[in-house]
Each structure stands twice: as C-alpha cells, then as structure tokens.
C-alpha cells in the first residue's frame, strides 16, 4: 500500500516541527520499541460550516461538552503532538467528524497527509458519526442548513492513504512493525442510514480469525481496535455502546492471545478488564482534557498503554482552560436545571457536579478519594434524591474501577 500522501494543508510551525522530528529520528530514541499513538472521537467540524454563525455556539452549548469551536486549534496541537511524540503510527478509532460532513473529512485528510509527510503513517476506521449520517448540517446566521454528507465510497476516496478497503466494511490490518499489528476492526453500521450501535458480525469474525492466524504464523503481536466497546465498561453505558457480537470478538481474542482492544465512542477515559483481556476506551479528543494514548510494545514483550492529555504548550494560551470551562459550564447548566435550593446551594451543587463529571470523563475520578463524599455539596446533592444527576453519581460511585489511564500487559 502506498502511504505517500498528497499535501493539502500546511499547518503553522510545520518546518520547525519537521526539523524536531528529524532530530528525534537521528537520535535513535526508543528505536527498539514499537510505539503507537491513538486518538478517538475528534468530531471535527470544518470551520466554514460554522464560522460567523450566531446559532452554532447556542447549539453546541446544549450538547455533551464537545469543544468543536476549537477544532482547528486542537488539530494543529494534535499535529504538533504527533511530531513531538514521533510514534511509529497514528491510529484514529472513529468519529472523525462532527456528523459526517464531507468538508470536515476532507480537512482532516489534509491534516493526516501532513503527518504522513513527516514519515508517520496514519490509519483510520469510521465511527457512527462518519458515514451516511442522517443529518449533516452547517450553521449560518439564524439558521441551520443541510451540508453534504459522506457515503462509504466517498469515505474510501477521501482516506485512500489512511485505510484499506475490502473486508467487513473498512476492516484491515495496520502493520505498525513486524512485531506489532493493529487489527483495525470496523464495527460501525452505516449501510443505509448510520445508527449508534455497533456490530461484530460473522463476516468480521471470519476476517479477524484469518488475521490472527496470519499473525501467529508471522510471530506478530496483535492489538485490536474498534470504535465501539468490546467489553462492558459501566452499566451507565451498555446499550448502543458495547457492540453486538462482542462475546464472539472477545472469544477470538482470548483464543489467539489478544489482550488489548483500543476503543472510543464512550467519550470517557475508561479501561475495562475481564480476565486477561482489556478494552481501553479513549476519552474523546474533542473534549477537555483532549486525550490521546501511547501504546508501546517494549523489547521485553510488555505492552504498555499510557493515556495522556494534550499539552497546553501546543495550544493557544488559555485555550485548555477555556475548553475546561466550556465542558464544566455545560455540566453545571444541566445540573442547575434539575435541582432546587437557595442560590448559594444551587451554585455549590452545580460546581460540584461539573468537577465530578470532568473527573469521571477524564478518567481521574477515584471512589477511594474521600473528598468526594466529604464535600458539603455532596450532602446537598444527596437530598436531591429524585434528580438524574444524583442517580448518575450513585452509579459512578458504585463502580468497581481501577486505573483508567495506564495498563501494562505481559506476553
């Protein structure tokens, strides 16, 4: 496969970043390990589809915390981060675009082409927001209009250098090195209109078993990658989040010694573990703290997963804080709509709700931290027994969670 790319977009600081990448390559840093960088749920919206619109931010404010208004700055920061980390490949586990707009896909393909020009292959699979989405839209003055969407054929053409076509949708093997293969497994459903759930079908099973047999013969370690969850992460998000047929895929993984799946879709940074098999759901890149992960196959055979947050130095000054405030503000608005009390009590509870939600989504919430239940705002929340947020909080606090940022797996 030709991984050379056409060059459509020249991000700022490109020359300096390329020089830095070349110096790293010359230094021979980490040459013995295979290093993979992962991002998911970019939900990129091409700026001409919303710039100057008075209704865009209002619509986004009613959403789930996506900071799509900073998409261009985030992509520029991602570009610089990829060159800084200089992995052997970048993989993107779906939900590339906001809602499948063709313009958004074209712009992303330009960014990926720039990364490939720096010698780092990029591999993508679609999510449920990428192909045949029912209503891709743009935002104008006082109005929302229909934007051009993306068919499977158009998706294949736009990302011709970043995927392979053929079996079980856009399922293919990304051979990151002789030692590490990623089975990019497209479980999104978009044959007619895209739907939220995912499916691992008998076709996927036949394809994946063939890949795993090949890998065994070639002596390569396999990590699988899907958009939807392979394992159940939380009772909060089971239907539409865990792919149908997940047991079939998990069984194949266990039979052939695959111990790590990389997923997205939840938008929450969360690692599910079931025996020797783990499913690392990466927090959405479009939401604070803008997660990415590094997966390293070490020389000793250990596979290490390390979730990181976008470094503020690659973003315009203050943007990381503004993005955090955006997500916190959306959570606080929703909490306030649901509760009663004095103005001070409502402010305390809303602030707590935002802090709690951001900690959970970023994978840093721990029920072992007593400050969550000792907080005076928590006592106020407990009195709001009939609200959806206290129900959500109760489920999260009862989860049996481990480290959601790191994973180390032996051979």
The span from the CA of 229 to the CA of 121, in Å, is 25
Shorter beta-carbon distance to Fe ion: residue 108 or 380: 108
Shorter beta-carbon distance to Fe ion: residue 33 or 41: 41
Q: How far is the CB of 369 from Fe ion (least distance, A)?
A: 28
Q: How far is the CB of 265 from Fe ion (least distance, A)?
A: 6
Q: Which phi and psi angles does 390 have, rounded to 5°? A: -70, -30
Residue nearest to Fe ion (CB): 95
Q: How far is the CB of 237 from Fe ion (least distance, A)?
A: 12
Q: How far is the CB of 340 from Fe ion (least distance, A)?
A: 33
- Residue 65, phi-psi category: left (phi > 0), alpha (psi -120 to 50), beta (remainder): left
The span from the CA of 306 to the CA of 322, in Å, is 25
Q: How far is the CB of 100 from Fe ion (least distance, A)?
A: 12
The stretches of 231-313 forming alpha helices (DSSP H) are 246-255
Q: What angle do CA 109, 185, 214 make, to 5 degrees?
A: 115
CA-based end-to-end distance of the chain: 29
The helix or strand, by DSSP H or E, that contains position 347, with its residue range, turns out to be: helix 343-361
Q: How far is the CB of 40 from Fe ion (least distance, A)?
A: 8
Kindly state the DSSP code that residue 123 receives in the 8-state scheme. Answer: E
Shorter beta-carbon distance to Fe ion: residue 34 or 69: 69
Q: Which two tokens stand for residue 207?
A: 């394809």
The span from the CA of 186 to the CA of 106, in Å, is 20
Residue 159, judged by CB atoms within 10 A of its CB (0-12, 13-18, 19+), counts as: buried
Shorter beta-carbon distance to Fe ion: residue 121 or 198: 198
Shorter beta-carbon distance to Fe ion: residue 41 or 101: 41
Shorter beta-carbon distance to Fe ion: residue 39 or 253: 39
Q: How far is the CB of 43 from Fe ion (least distance, A)?
A: 6
Q: Which phi and psi angles does 195 have, rounded to 5°? A: -125, 160
Shorter beta-carbon distance to Fe ion: residue 188 or 353: 188
Q: How far is the CB of 115 from Fe ion (least distance, A)?
A: 21
Kindly state the DSSP code that residue 390 receives in the 8-state scheme. Answer: H
Shorter beta-carbon distance to Fe ion: residue 49 or 176: 49
The site for Fe ion (CB under 5 A) is made up of: 41, 95
Shorter beta-carbon distance to Fe ion: residue 41 or 279: 41
The stretches of 96-161 forming alpha helices (DSSP H) are 102-117, 152-158
The span from the CA of 405 to the CA of 411, in Å, is 20
Q: Which two tokens stand for residue 171?
A: 């399922």
Q: How far is the CB of 216 from Fe ion (least distance, A)?
A: 33
Q: Which two tokens stand for residue 43?
A: 């939900």
Nearest alpha-carbon partner for 281 in 305, 264, 258, 306:
264
């Amino acid at each position: 496969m030709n991984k050379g790319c056409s060059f459509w977009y020249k991000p700022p600081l490109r020359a300096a970043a390329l020089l830095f990448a070349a110096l790293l390559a010359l230094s021979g840093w980490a040459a013995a390990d295979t290093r993979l960088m992962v991002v998911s749920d970019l939900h990129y919206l091409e700026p001409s589809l919303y710039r100057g619109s008075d209704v865009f931010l209002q619509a986004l404010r009613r959403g789930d915390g996506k900071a799509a208004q900073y998409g261009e700055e985030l992509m520029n920061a991602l570009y610089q981060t990829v060159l800084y980390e200089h992995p052997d490949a970048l993989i993107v586990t779906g939900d590339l675009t906001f809602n499948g707009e063709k313009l958004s896909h074209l712009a992303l393909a330009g960014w990926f082409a720039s990364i490939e020009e720096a010698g780092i292959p990029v591999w993508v699979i679609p999510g449920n927001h990428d192909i045949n989405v029912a209503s891709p839209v743009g935002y104008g003055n006082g109005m929302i209009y229909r934007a051009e969407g993306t068919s499977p054929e158009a998706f294949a053409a736009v990302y011709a250098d970043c995927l392979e076509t053929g079996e079980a949708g856009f399922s293919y093997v990304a051979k990151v090195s002789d030692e590490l293969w990623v089975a990019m497994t497209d479980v999104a459903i978009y044959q007619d209109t895209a739907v939220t759930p995912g499916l691992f079908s008998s076709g996927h099973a036949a394809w994946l078993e063939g890949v795993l047999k090949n890998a065994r013969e070639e002596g390569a370690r396999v990590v699988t990658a899907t958009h939807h969850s392979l394992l159940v992460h939380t009772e909060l998000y089971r239907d539409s989040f865990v792919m149908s047929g997940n047991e079939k895929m998990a069984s194949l993984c266990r039979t052939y010694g695959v111990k790590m799946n990389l997923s997205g879709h939840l938008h929450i940074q969360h690692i599910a573990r079931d025996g020797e098999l783990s499913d690392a759901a990466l927090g959405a890149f479009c939401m604070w703290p803008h997660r990415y992960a590094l997966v390293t196959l070490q020389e000793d055979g250990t596979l290490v997963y390390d979730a990181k947050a976008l470094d503020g130095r690659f973003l315009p000054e203050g943007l990381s804080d503004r993005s955090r405030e955006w997500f916190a503000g959306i959570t606080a608005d929703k909490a306030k709509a649901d509760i009663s009390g004095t103005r001070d009590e409502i402010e305390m509870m809303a602030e707590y709700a935002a802090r709690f939600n951001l900690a959970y989504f970023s994978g840093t919430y721990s029920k072992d931290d007593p400050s969550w239940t000792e907080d005076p705002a928590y006592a106020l929340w407990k009195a709001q027994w009939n609200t959806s947020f206290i129900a959500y909080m109760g489920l999260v606090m009862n989860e049996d969670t481990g480290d959601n940022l790191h994973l180390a797996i032996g051979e």
